[in-house]
Amino acid sequence: MDERQALAAFAALGQEHRLRVVRALVTAGPDGLAAGALAIEVGATSTNLSFHLKELSHAGLITSRREGKSIIYSAAYAGLSNLIAFLMRDCCQGRPEVCAPAVAALSACDCPVGEALNA
How far apart CA 92 and CA 45 sit, in angstroms, is 43
Question: Of 94, 112, 117, 92, which is closest to residue 103 (Cα–Cα)?
Answer: 92
Query: What 3-state DSSP class applies to 107?
Result: helix
Q: What is the pLDDT of residues 53-112, one digit of tens each?
A: 999 999 999 999 999 999 999 999 999 989 988 888 777 777 778 878 877 877 777 665
Task: Return the pLDDT at 105.
Answer: 79
Chain-centre distance for alpha carbon 84: 10
Task: Return the pLDDT at 111.
Answer: 60
Whether 7 and 14 have beta carbons less than 8 Å apart is answered as no
pLDDT band at 117 (very low <50, low <70, confident <90, very high): very low
Extract the runs of DSSP E, i.e. beta strands, from 1-116: 33-34, 62-67, 70-75
Query: What 3-state DSSP class applies to 84?
Result: helix
Neighbours of 67 (CB within 10 A): 9
How far apart CA 28 and CA 103 sit, in angstroms, is 22
Number of residues written out for the chain? 119
